[in-house]
Chain A
Amino acid sequence: MSASTTTYPFTIIIGLEVHVQLKTNSKLFCGCSTSFGAPPNTNVCPVCLGLPGALPVLNQQAIDLAIETGLALNCSIPPMTKWDRKQYFYPDLPKGYQISQFDLPICADGALDITDPADPESKRRIGIIRAHLEEDAGKSMHDESAGVAESRIDLNRCGTPLLEIVSQPDMRSPAEAKEFLTELKLLLTHLGVSDCEMQEGSLRVDANINLHIDVDGKTAKTPIVEVKNMNSFRAVERALVYEIDRQYLVWTETGATIELNPKTTRGWDDAKEQTFAQREKEESADYRYFPDPDLLPLRIPESHIENIRAQLGELPAETRERLQTQYDIKLYDAEVIVNQGRELIAYYEAVSEHCGDGRRASAWIQQDVLRTMKERSLRITDFPISAASLGELLRRVSKNELDTTRARDVFAFLWEHPQESVDEAVAALGIKSVDHSEIDALCDELLAANPQVIDDVRAGKMQAVGMLIGQAKKKNPNANPQLVRETLLVKINGK
């Protein structure tokens, strides 16, 4: 994508609106469960059904999760926030209005730093305009098969707390938009404020995009398009790529700009890989926002905000920095580890501390642990080899007490026998430490039997040593090949 931005004769302007469901136990204004997948219309009560006389009561946990998210996004948390009604008629909105926040959102003026996809060593800062709390609507399911136009409503989701995070139009490529979403999801799942599962609807994205085209020193702006219905980050990226081409083509054909047509809404068809015009309302919707008289304005004491800030802990971006300096690993490796989440970071750090070699720990975790996890669909918390065991195993590799091949045997053994210690695994596999005098004797014996190798090596044919190492392995499986090689070379060159 970065290539596109540099080759296209225009600037791409992208802003995102991300709805995330907050992981509260109960809904925003009633005690109903927020669990996903319950039978339709079972997690409901008079409040979220909008029955006459029912009144909303604010869920403090949602407030705290929103504050936590806002602080992690470098937002300011105003001392007072309030609730407004956004009014429209739809069957999945039983009150006829959604309780939301209009002019005093709970979080404002933040930013999220992302890796620049065009230059992984540098950062891009994406502004956050605001993040506000609101209640989710229910779900409408339309069955238009076989001529039965039937609609069903499930109100389980109705009243689930949503945090709508609105970015500045700071993204300049679809790849940046994808990176923003990836980093945001990492942050939110790290905090544990949301599951961010697009498939379950706990994270939803609307993308706003248009082009600023330089024409004879002036800027022509294409109409802003809000793209909806994207069900993965990949889909967001592809929809935006599609929109760039489409908007540029339309502009070259019609010259239509933002002055003529400020904003339209388009849906994303994942199968056809294209956006399509969605039916526009005849006139722009007037939501008639006004303060909800059933809820008092909410004053958030500074001390409360500071308490939450104090408990924020290390955020992913900070962890990435720290891992690089503390364990001497590369940015890429730190990213891989941090992207796996809190538990894997803890596992990695424990292994590194135990073995004293952060790079080795990183390599083993990326190659052996993550691969096994992926093959077996395991989470690190369910991984049978403890950090202490792996750390001990790698410590021995670092100390040349075990070679990598034997270490992998031990790893495989521990996978099968998670209750056994490294010592027990070593014993069970018949691995014995071989002391220097034994290696010495072994090398002398091999050189005596293969004098030609000495000449070959001295003539610069280093690979000749490999043959002797193979023989050494046969004679004594526990002989460390590296040690054998070093000993052989010393003896050859010393002779």
Chain B
Amino acid sequence: MLDSVHEILRLQASGDATAVEIVRQSLDRIDAIQSALNPFTYIARNSAIAAATAIDRRRRAGEALGPLAGVPIAIKDVLCTRDMPTTCSSQMLKGFQPPYDATVVANLRAAGAVIIGKTNMDEFAMGASTETSVFGVTRNPWDLTKTPGGSSGGAAACVAAGCVPLSIGTDTGGSIRQPAAFCGITGLKPTYGRVSRFGLVAFASSLDQVGPMSWSVEETALLLQSIAGYEPRDSTSLNHPVPDYVAGIASYDVRGLRIGIIRDAVDSDGLGDDLRNALNQSVDVFKSLGAEVVDINLPNSEYAVPTYYVIAPCEASSNLSRYSGAHYGFRATNVDSKSPLGPLTATYCQSRDQGFGAEVKRRIMLGTYALSTGYYDAYYLKALKVRRLIRNDYDAAFSQVDLLLGPVTPTTAFKLGSKVDDPIQMYLGDLFTVGANLAGVPAISIPAGQDVDGLPVGIQLQAPALEESRLLLAAAAYQRATSHHTARPREFTGAAL
């Protein structure tokens, strides 16, 4: 039941379950897996029960309820919640509780969703394995020795583990899609500006986007419907009508759709055989559904990772300047009062040194360096120019095809600890995902089978800006023709779902 929004809505509508009963089941499930998997940084036990109680009361009173009434949902701990801590999994914000809700959070509450807790992540969303969290690593429900991916690792793991049917992640360079692929679920990064960033703690402002995660495309569409839309408090938010995403996939008809398979990616040496096979099989599926599949290339994609790892750290170095220990969050207490830096600078240095982890400090230093006088043109400005070329590649591709098909990740979920000390290897894993962020286009990761070890394999579809409906339609047609998204982690088979 906890793997289906539709089932939860049906049970409540028929009177077979109350929202409180559903939320209690969700909390029980979290209690059962939290110590083993650690997907949550905070479990909102009391407020979730209270919200569910209110939903049940309103239902009994015959009041109109939102489209997600009584559905438990988990929120990545990078989105502000006025009644729960918002930590970014960092010592710097441990215990910090903002005085306001992120727009996404407010929209979800308005839709009746019950926020069950906040999910673990790489510190400040910088990472691809959920290993840099101050709350400890999150494990992959399919194999506890493997990473769930990151940075939205907790968000993916809690869905895959059957705690909640819906979860909110954020994606700056693949942080929704890669964990979705590693955990065998569906994850969408919407068009940049489609979902408000107000209340999303910024990592790289020009790349960050909030998105839905769930088992199926249908439920992903349902969740997107509740969070998408123009927001005047976010200047980068797009003032463009929100289509009916659920209705947009109702036909499951992809006949005549032109899908470009990204040939260089498929042929890439770095791509594992199982992942290549899954992609090739998906080509056959789309063809069998009546879509046309053609080869296409994004000529500048080899520069995507280096471009991303200049722009994102530059913006991060600036965005994270506010965590200084002066106003809120962590402040070092053991500052040397006789420091030659003076008490103020010494407090800044010590607070930031102790409050941030190694990966965050690495990126702040990278970005600070790249923005410095004498390096700005060679790094930041050049990266902006290459970003333009990458966008041009996407524009050119979408003048020929309706959608792009390719891998999400070069490998399936890797072993915890295997890359955390090798940042270059970790960064290269973003090869297939950062392009959509640099170009600002929507992209979805959907389950497409398993590798020899039984670990999930994902494939990625990308669409032109604001064409989420087309993206969801193709992904939904694929899922209707396959059963990969119905696979569940073996360890949890037979558990009281």
Residues of A within 8 A of B (CB): 46, 49-58, 85, 87, 89, 91, 94-97, 153, 286, 288, 290, 293-296
Nearest-neighbour CB distance to chain A for B409, whole angstroms, equals 26
- A46 and B86 CA atoms in complex are apart in Å by 14
B233 at the interface (CB under 8 A from A): yes
Q: Tell me the dominant secondary structure on chain A's binding face.
A: loop
Whether B205 contacts A293 by the Cβ 8 Å rule is yes
Whether A55 contacts B197 by the Cβ 8 Å rule is yes
Nearest-neighbour CB distance to chain B for A50, whole angstroms, equals 5
Question: Within 8 Å CB of B100, what residues of A?
Answer: 46, 51
- Within 8 Å by CB of B86, from A52, A153, A286, lies A52
- A58 and B234 CA atoms in complex are apart in Å by 10
Whether A89 contacts B200 by the Cβ 8 Å rule is no
Whether B80 contacts A49 by the Cβ 8 Å rule is no
B314 at the interface (CB under 8 A from A): yes
B240 at the interface (CB under 8 A from A): no
B277 at the interface (CB under 8 A from A): no
Excluding A49-B327, A51-B100, 18 further A-B contacts by CB distance (< 8 Å) are A51-B98, A52-B93, A52-B201, A53-B201, A54-B199, A55-B234, A55-B235, A87-B321, A96-B322, A153-B326, A288-B371, A288-B372, A288-B373, A288-B376, A293-B236, A295-B235, A296-B235, A296-B236
26 CB < 8 A contacts A-B: A46-B98, A46-B99, A50-B322, A52-B201, A52-B202, A53-B80, A53-B86, A53-B197, A53-B199, A53-B200, A53-B201, A55-B197, A55-B234, A55-B235, A57-B233, A87-B371, A89-B324, A91-B327, A95-B322, A96-B320, A96-B321, A96-B322, A97-B318, A97-B321, A290-B380, A293-B315
- Within 8 Å by CB of B373, from A55, A89, A286, A295, lies A286
Nearest-neighbour CB distance to chain A for B21, whole angstroms, equals 33
Number of A-B residue pairs at CB separation under 8 A: 95
Query: For chain B residues 76-129, which have a beta carbon within 8 Å of chain A?
Result: 79-80, 86, 88, 93, 96, 98-100, 102
Question: Within 8 Å CB of B394, what residues of A?
Answer: none
Question: Within 8 Å CB of A58, what residues of B?
Answer: 235
B492 at the interface (CB under 8 A from A): no
Q: A55-B197, A55-B235 are in contact. Are A89 and B102 (CB under 8 A)?
A: no
B36 at the interface (CB under 8 A from A): no
Whether B80 contacts A91 by the Cβ 8 Å rule is no
Question: Within 8 Å CB of B88, what residues of A?
Answer: 52
- Within 8 Å by CB of A51, from B320, B328, B344, lies B328
- A290 and B322 CA atoms in complex are apart in Å by 16
Q: How many residues of B contact A (CB 8 A)?
A: 44
- A53 and B321 CA atoms in complex are apart in Å by 13
Q: Which of B93, B324, B380 gathers the greatest number of chain A CB atoms within 10 Å? A: B324
- Within 8 Å by CB of A94, from B320, B327, B344, B348, lies B327
Nearest-neighbour CB distance to chain B for A491, whole angstroms, equals 85
Query: For chain B residues 307-329, which have a beta carbon within 8 Å of chain A?
Result: 314-315, 317-318, 320-322, 324, 326-328
Nearest-neighbour CB distance to chain B for A53, whole angstroms, equals 4
- A87 and B102 CA atoms in complex are apart in Å by 26
Whether B236 contacts A96 by the Cβ 8 Å rule is no
Whether A52 contacts B376 by the Cβ 8 Å rule is no
- A310 and B328 CA atoms in complex are apart in Å by 48
Q: A286-B372, A290-B376 are in contact. Are A94 and B326 (CB under 8 A)?
A: yes
- Within 8 Å by CB of B348, from A49, A89, A296, lies A89
- A77 and B424 CA atoms in complex are apart in Å by 46
8 closest A-B pairs by beta carbon, nearest first, are A96-B321, A293-B205, A293-B206, A288-B371, A52-B201, A53-B199, A91-B326, A53-B80
B256 at the interface (CB under 8 A from A): no
Query: For chain B residues 367-425, which have a beta carbon within 8 Å of chain A?
Result: 368, 371-373, 376, 380
Question: Within 8 Å CB of A87, what residues of B?
Answer: 318, 321, 371
Question: Within 8 Å CB of B380, what residues of A?
Answer: 290
Q: Tell me the dominant secondary structure on chain B's binding face.
A: loop
Question: Within 8 Å CB of A91, what residues of B?
Answer: 324, 326-327, 344
B142 at the interface (CB under 8 A from A): no
- A294 and B233 CA atoms in complex are apart in Å by 11
Query: For chain B residues 189-240, which have a beta carbon within 8 Å of chain A?
Result: 197-202, 204-206, 232-236
- A57 and B197 CA atoms in complex are apart in Å by 12
Question: Within 8 Å CB of B199, what residues of A?
Answer: 53-54
- A286 and B481 CA atoms in complex are apart in Å by 57
Whether A52 contacts B348 by the Cβ 8 Å rule is no
Whether A55 contacts B198 by the Cβ 8 Å rule is yes
Question: Within 8 Å CB of A97, what residues of B?
Answer: 318, 321
Q: A51-B328, A53-B98 are in contact. Are A85 and B318 (CB under 8 A)?
A: yes
Nearest-neighbour CB distance to chain B for A96, whole angstroms, equals 2
Q: Which of A46, A57, A58, A96 gathers the greatest number of chain B CB atoms within 10 Å? A: A96
- A52 and B124 CA atoms in complex are apart in Å by 11
Nearest-neighbour CB distance to chain A for B247, whole angstroms, equals 31
- Within 8 Å by CB of B318, from A51, A57, A290, lies A290
- A44 and B233 CA atoms in complex are apart in Å by 16
- A203 and B268 CA atoms in complex are apart in Å by 62
Nearest neighbor of B86 in chain A, beta-carbon distance: A52
Question: Within 8 Å CB of B198, what residues of A?
Answer: 53-55
- A50 and B327 CA atoms in complex are apart in Å by 9
Q: A95-B322, A96-B322, A294-B235 are in contact. Are A53 and B79 (CB under 8 A)?
A: yes
Nearest-neighbour CB distance to chain A for B345, whole angstroms, equals 8
Nearest-neighbour CB distance to chain A for B340, whole angstroms, equals 11
Nearest neighbor of B201 in chain A, beta-carbon distance: A52
Question: Within 8 Å CB of B348, what residues of A?
Answer: 89
Question: Within 8 Å CB of B235, what residues of A?
Answer: 55-58, 294-296
Q: A95-B321, A96-B322 are in contact. Are A51 and B202 (CB under 8 A)?
A: no
- A220 and B376 CA atoms in complex are apart in Å by 35
- Within 8 Å by CB of B371, from A51, A290, A296, lies A290
- A286 and B79 CA atoms in complex are apart in Å by 32
- A288 and B232 CA atoms in complex are apart in Å by 28
Nearest-neighbour CB distance to chain B for A298, whole angstroms, equals 10
Whether B205 contacts A294 by the Cβ 8 Å rule is yes
Nearest neighbor of B368 in chain A, beta-carbon distance: A288
Query: For chain B residues 287-336, which have a beta carbon within 8 Å of chain A?
Result: 314-315, 317-318, 320-322, 324, 326-328
Nearest neighbor of B88 in chain A, beta-carbon distance: A52
Nearest-neighbour CB distance to chain A for B3, whole angstroms, equals 30
Nearest-neighbour CB distance to chain A for B198, whole angstroms, equals 5
- Within 8 Å by CB of B314, from A53, A89, A290, lies A290
Nearest neighbor of B345 in chain A, beta-carbon distance: A89
- A294 and B197 CA atoms in complex are apart in Å by 10
Nearest-neighbour CB distance to chain B for A282, whole angstroms, equals 11
- Within 8 Å by CB of B321, from A49, A51, A56, A89, lies A89
Nearest neighbor of A96 in chain B, beta-carbon distance: B321
Question: Within 8 Å CB of A53, what residues of B?
Answer: 79-80, 86, 98, 102, 197-202
- A56 and B99 CA atoms in complex are apart in Å by 17
Nearest-neighbour CB distance to chain A for B417, whole angstroms, equals 29
Q: Which of A95, A288, A290, A295 gathers the greatest number of chain B CB atoms within 10 Å? A: A288
Q: Which of A49, A54, A56 gathers the greatest number of chain B CB atoms within 10 Å? A: A54
- A288 and B371 CA atoms in complex are apart in Å by 5
- Within 8 Å by CB of A52, from B80, B372, B373, lies B80
- A157 and B79 CA atoms in complex are apart in Å by 28
Q: Which of A52, A53, A89, A293 gathers the greatest number of chain B CB atoms within 10 Å? A: A52
- A51 and B82 CA atoms in complex are apart in Å by 12
Nearest neighbor of A50 in chain B, beta-carbon distance: B322
